[in-house]
Structure formats: structure tokens, C-alpha cells
Chain A
């Protein structure tokens, strides 16, 4: 298992050819109280950089991009009733979707935890 981060404040946790994607605690804090999350349906194919999900607070809406290409295997259904999970546990229960990687090499360009921490410090 390994966890990677993007400059768009997504995290991706990889186990074999499967991965789980969410937004970072920093992003959740910037958004404020999350009120709605639109997660992708299983079966959808996404390319790296595609708009895969939408996360909304009262006064803002942000697209969540696919950090890597793949085939969606599950959207987090729990977020429909409990969008606050994104605030309370962004890097755990508040995950957005799972996918099966089609181009694992795309992971190489992503940051690790330390690099992401340094990146956030520059913002």
C-alpha cells in the first residue's frame, strides 16, 4: 500500500491495481463545511485529469480530478447522506471513489506525504 498526493489536493491510496481517492485534510479545511458530494458511478472510465467528482460547500463548488487513469469500481455512497465525513475524516471515511488503475506508471509523477506537506507550506 502506498499513498500519493496531487497538486490539486487529492490523495490516492494504491493497493495492487486498485486505488482509493479522496481530498486532503488541507482541501477539506479550505472548502469549509461540505454539503454535497457528487461521486462517479461504477463502470465509468476516467483519464488522468478528468473531472471525476464534485464537492460542494455552501458557497463554493470544486471539481475533483482523477489523479490517474482508470475504471471506477465504486463511489462512496455514504457521502450522499453524510457529506460531513469529508470534513470529519477526509483521508479515511470521507474517501470519494475507488478505481482500477489502467496506467500505473502515472503514479510516478505524484508527490509523497512529505513532498505534499512541503507543497502546502508554500501556499
Chain B
């Protein structure tokens, strides 16, 4: 018999419970790799690019040639790739698992969209090229614009806003411009429900409006009576999120719009949650005057760790004349032109002006259009249905586990809201969130909306399978059980993440916002 396994290697298993994990020499734990800052591993003499010889010649820099060092570290290409790859592995992402961040809509990002956005015909085109050389780019904007108008049942759309909050600003400026055109300068108040996202009041204030809260009913919807009572000659309009941040459809939306219109105001709808109703309801049928659409939410452009977003704003017939520059105009022969400052007087005289340097988020338009074309009118309707189905499944499956304050208010839409009621003394929503991290999940949105104590807002999205939801529900039940039982180890969670709980007080008291060389 030949010698078997001459190397002497055999699989060895540590008997359960024996041997604590040792400290490692590097501080790394196998695939969990720490990574210093570029300032600690790079230096000013290293570069990861090969550049041509600098041609000789006098400079023409007006005596302003840089002499002092900048202090920028460089890394070789292999070191660069490794640095950022190691950093990436300290992030949770939708590619890794369910990401139930309520109102943020973390759904699968199809890679087809990335591919088309990188076609040189879109990626390598300058915004100021003569319009005859960018007819395809303008066609993308135009085509997406028509989809957005048709899906929302609105009259027009402003494509240039750079993100949701920028879109809110666009809509609010349209309202302001419309009021000024009517000579109504005394309408200075915008009404915003208490449950609104913080960008709503911030936007209205940024545009010079005074913000007043409107109360909610006990079932979590806008109090129509209170709203009506507040309407008057000083009210410019309302900003309402529908479906709202409690995950509920505003049943009275049409009545709200009618009342606001009757009182001379306009209705802004925060469309952050349009993904719940796309293809099932058209906001235009509810009397909305302006609504931004976060392309990164409803139409799945990637969130990128915090942008870039894109926030086109659909507009009613009443507000369309006031929309911002630039926009595209398609002619009978198929040629598309741009309406900018030059032609605004002829084509769009009431425009409130320009909000951003160029044409908006082209790279997001291509991705969103690819997503929309992939789904089509039928698929988009299915998107809303599955998003709502998944959220209701989570809501009902966890009804015995967590307090759901609006469970009796009817079905939820795309997100399910829970509170911290019923946890053991000293345990909070934060502990549930950190416990879920150890279970391999990104937590839900916590402490928002503000109208619910210790809010937990779960948005599973339509791109999760039933099996993935069942696993998640199981994890929430397990963590909630620990929080109800007062399991002390939950208070110090997460235990298994790249970092333990971080000291945010220290960060805010003594802000260190940029790298400084350590004192010698």
C-alpha cells in the first residue's frame, strides 16, 4: 500500500468550546483586514500612473507656479487596488444582503444599467457640445421624461435636479414662481406634516417660506380637518409625502389637494415613496402639482454610499410654465433642441431659471431608462405590487414580535413601521439595530419618522425573495427576544462587525475632519 497523505496533513476541528480565539500579530482576523489611511501608507514621491515626459518650455502661470508642497500621498496601482478593495469589504451593501432601510429603498441594482451608462456615447460626451452632436443624449432625456410624465399622469417634468432634496427645491420654487406670477406675495407659509422627512421643512425654509406643522390622526395619516382649518390667504401650499413615512397611503389625498387648491395654494408631493405605487396610481389623478422622483429609489440607480442621486420633478399644467432651465424640446422631424437662457424668452418665458450648471444627472438617466425599459409598463406595476406584498408580509409576520402602532390602520404600502414599546427596561431601538448587524443585516431605518417612539421602519423592497424575507423575520424575532429578555450582550452589540459601537460624542466634541501628520 502506498503511503497515504505523506504530508501528514489531516483536517482538524477544534473541539467545541475549547480555546479562545488568539490575538493575531497583525490585528487582522483572516478575511477581516484592517487598512491604514492613504496618508499613512503613501507618500508624495509615489505615483500609480505613468505620465509622458513633460515637454520643456517656459510656463505662463503669471508668477503663480506652485512652490509649496500640497501634501498628497500617492500609491502604486497594486497598492491602490488593494487599499480600496480592503476598504470596500468593511461596508454592508445590497449586493451582500437584505438592506431594509425604510424610505431609502435599497433594491437590487441591475448591472445592465451600469453597462449602458458606460457606453462611450453617453459617458464620453461633453455637456456643451453643439446640440447636433448630442442628439442621442438629448433623446435619452426626452424619452425618460415621457416615461415619467406617463407614469405619473402629470403635464411636464423638470429633469435637471441633482437629487431628491434638489427636486423638492425645484418644486417649491415652481410654487413660489407661480404665486408671484399671480401677484400673491403674501402666501408665505408651507404646511408640512410632522412625519415628514427633514428635507421638506429645510427646503421650504431655504426658499424663504415659513414652515408650519400639520398634525396627524391617531391612525398615522394627515388630519384633513386640521389641514382645512389652517388653510387661508397666507398659505402657499402643502408638502405631503404619499405614501407617507408611516408606510400608509394618504386616503384623503384628493380631498387634501382639492381643499388646498380651493384655498389658492399648491400641492407638493414628496415622491420618495413612489416605488410603492408606480403603475398602480398616478399622482396626477390625485391633484398633485409637483412631485420629485428619486431615480435611485424608484428606478434603482445605485445609491453609491450616499449619491449621486437624481430628482426629476413632474409638474401639473399649472406649474409647468415655471420649471427650470434647461430642458429638451422634440420637434416634428425628431430633432431635439435645448431650451436654455438663449431661447428661454421665446419658448419658456416664465421659467424660474437654472438650478445647476448643465443638464442634470445624465449618468442616472441612462441607468433609470434601462431599468424602466427592462420592466415596461407591466413590470413596473409588478414592482409596486411585490414591494407592497413584501412589506405587508413582514408587518404581519412580526406583528406578535414588535409593536406596530399603525397595524390597524389598514395594509401598509412598501414599508412597515414598528415602535420600541415592549422592550425590556433600558433596551431601545438602537440595540435592536446593532443586534441585527451581528446577524448579518443592515438595520432598518431607526428613529424616523419622529412621530413614533423608537421608530423602526422596514422596507424590504420587491427584489427580495420569500426565503430572504423569512430569514430576516427570523433574525428580527431572535434579536427582539433578546431585547425583551434584557440580554446584556445586546447592549454592547455589534460584536462581529469591523468596529464596535463608535464614540459619536467624542467625534462631535473634538472634530477631527482631516488628516494631520502626527506631531514629531
Of the listed stretches B38-46, B230-238, B490-498, B503-511, name the one at the interface; the rest are far from the partner chain.
B503-511
The verdict on A39 contacting chain B, using a C-beta distance below 8 Å, is no
CA distance A35 to B503 in the complex (A): 12
Contacts of A33 in B (CB 8 A): 505, 509
The verdict on A58 contacting chain B, using a C-beta distance below 8 Å, is yes
A70-114 CB mask vs B (1 if < 8 Å, else 0) is 000000000000011000000000000000000000000000000
CA distance A8 to B504 in the complex (A): 26
CA distance A35 to B508 in the complex (A): 6
The verdict on A36 contacting chain B, using a C-beta distance below 8 Å, is yes
The size of the chain A interface, using a CB distance under 8 A, is 9
CA distance A57 to B504 in the complex (A): 10
CA distance A96 to B505 in the complex (A): 20
CA distance A6 to B366 in the complex (A): 57
Which of B447, B504, B509 has the most CB atoms of chain A within a 10 A radius of its CB? B509
Which A23-66 residues have C-beta < 8 A from chain B?
33, 35-36, 56-59
Majority secondary structure, A binding face: loop
CA distance A84 to B447 in the complex (A): 25
Nearest CB of A to B230, in Å: 23
CA distance A58 to B504 in the complex (A): 7
Q: Which residue of A lies closest to B504 (CB)?
A: A58
Q: What class of interface size applies to chain B in its complex with A?
A: under 10
CA distance A84 to B504 in the complex (A): 14
Majority secondary structure, B binding face: helix
Q: Which residue of B lies closest to A35 (CB)?
A: B508
CA distance A57 to B509 in the complex (A): 9
CA distance A33 to B509 in the complex (A): 9
CA distance A5 to B87 in the complex (A): 51
Nearest CB of B to A86, in Å: 11
CA distance A35 to B504 in the complex (A): 9
Nearest CB of B to A79, in Å: 11
CA distance A58 to B447 in the complex (A): 14
B425-457 CB mask vs A (1 if < 8 Å, else 0) is 000000000000000000000010000000000
CA distance A59 to B508 in the complex (A): 10
CA distance A36 to B508 in the complex (A): 8
Contacts of B509 in A (CB 8 A): 33, 35-36, 83-84
CA distance A36 to B504 in the complex (A): 13
Nearest CB of A to B420, in Å: 15
Contacts of B504 in A (CB 8 A): 58
Contacts of B505 in A (CB 8 A): 33, 35, 57-58
CA distance A112 to B463 in the complex (A): 60
Nearest CB of B to A7, in Å: 20
Q: Which residue of B lies closest to A83 (CB)?
A: B509
Contacts of A84 in B (CB 8 A): 509
Contacts of A36 in B (CB 8 A): 508-509
Nearest CB of A to B336, in Å: 47
Nearest CB of B to A76, in Å: 16
Which B436-487 residues have C-beta < 8 A from chain A?
447
Contacts of A57 in B (CB 8 A): 505
CA distance A33 to B505 in the complex (A): 7
CA distance A83 to B508 in the complex (A): 10
Nearest CB of B to A55, in Å: 12
Nearest CB of A to B393, in Å: 31
Contacts of A56 in B (CB 8 A): 508
Which B314-345 residues have C-beta < 8 A from chain A?
none
Q: Which residue of A lies closest to B509 (CB)?
A: A35
B98-139 CB mask vs A (1 if < 8 Å, else 0) is 000000000000000000000000000000000000000000
Contacts of B508 in A (CB 8 A): 35-36, 56, 58
Nearest CB of A to B504, in Å: 5
Contacts of B447 in A (CB 8 A): 59
Q: Which residue of A lies closest to B447 (CB)?
A: A59
CA distance A95 to B126 in the complex (A): 57
Nearest CB of A to B266, in Å: 30
CA distance A84 to B508 in the complex (A): 12
Contacts of A35 in B (CB 8 A): 505, 508-509
Nearest CB of B to A63, in Å: 15
Which of A35, A57, A59 has the most CB atoms of chain B within a 10 A radius of its CB? A35
Nearest CB of B to A38, in Å: 13
CA distance A57 to B507 in the complex (A): 11
Nearest CB of B to A84, in Å: 7
Nearest CB of A to B105, in Å: 23
15 chain-A/chain-B pairs, Cβ below 8 angstroms: A33-B505, A33-B509, A35-B505, A35-B508, A35-B509, A36-B508, A36-B509, A56-B508, A57-B505, A58-B504, A58-B505, A58-B508, A59-B447, A83-B509, A84-B509
Give the B-binding residues of A (Cβ under 8 A).
33, 35-36, 56-59, 83-84
The 10 closest A-B pairs by CB, nearest first: A35-B508, A33-B505, A58-B504, A35-B509, A58-B508, A58-B505, A35-B505, A83-B509, A36-B508, A84-B509
Given contacts A33-B509, A36-B508, 13 further A-B contacts (CB under 8 A): A33-B505, A35-B505, A35-B508, A35-B509, A36-B509, A56-B508, A57-B505, A58-B504, A58-B505, A58-B508, A59-B447, A83-B509, A84-B509
Give the A-binding residues of B (Cβ under 8 A).
447, 504-505, 508-509
